[in-house]
Amino acid sequence: MKFVSWNVNGLRAVCGKGFNDIFASFDADFVCLQETKLSPGAFELDFDGYHSYWNLADRKGYSGTAIYTRTEASDVKYGIGIDKHDREGRVITLDMDDFYLVNVYTPNSQAELTRLDYRIEWEEAFRNYLCCLDRVKPVIVCGDMNVAHKEIDLKNPASNRRSAGFTDEERGEFTKLLDCGFIDTFRAVKPDLTDAYTWWSYRARARERNVGWRIDYFLVSECLRLKIADANIKAEIMGSDHCPVELVLGLMD
């Protein structure tokens, strides 16, 4: 079973960069998108053989998430049930037979860390939400989680100690999530792989020089550890400042 997650940084924009062909090349059972930047009723994209689910922000052209799935979900939830956190289209949860699939676009702490306090509040609420799901059945959570967890996960850790996405507070919140029983699948498969990034600044030829950050993830419940067959970063796929990430799970019992 193959899962793909990608922050497309504007679905309209990436559609002009070969998205249809890229989507077909995934040949995935589930494709999760973040930062679709769509307005209600403005634009949706369908693919044969896939059901799609969309969560759009109240604010026009901002944030937003989507999931494509070959298997229709038995239920779908938009947001985490807390109004102040559910206005930016950041979370979709699909209730599948054997697991929950959660697609998330975590808030960025912003320049000068102006949104760090809100980010930490969000992290606690989202973690509690995932833990509640995990008590029911296994959880697969993916998306742009806007944090490089360890120094291995970005090119220049020393100079980014207080940059958004690499503060002690954000990294600590990610550690708390893992401590709740979730596994960073990429590091489970490739624990020591360096220079493996999923986001690059548009400035200073960062992608060309591979000066990047790994901030896009697939996490799974501990009970799925032995189901992890592979986890990859698809850095060769262009079209956004992020690249897709991929998870392959063995068939569910």
**Per residue in 19-61, pLDDT tens?**
999 999 999 999 999 999 998 777 779 999 999 999 999 999 8
Q: pTM for this structure?
A: 0.97
Helix extents (H) in the chain:
11-15, 19-26, 116-134, 168-179, 185-189
Backbone angles phi, psi at 114, to 5 degrees: -65, -20
Contacts of 103 (CB under 8 A, 6+ apart): 5, 32, 33, 34, 65, 66, 67, 91, 92, 93, 141, 142, 143
pLDDT of residue 41: 74
pLDDT of residue 253: 56
Residues with catalytic roles: 105, 144
Say how far apart CA 174 and CA 237 lie, in whole Å.
26
CA atoms within 13 A on the CB side of 17: 12
pLDDT of residue 39: 85
Say how far apart CA 111 and CA 125 lie, in whole Å.
23
Contacts of 15 (CB under 8 A, 6+ apart): 45
Mean pLDDT over the full length of the chain: 96
pLDDT of residue 103: 99
Mark the ranges of the chain whose per-residue pLDDT is less than 70: 252-253
pLDDT of residue 252: 61
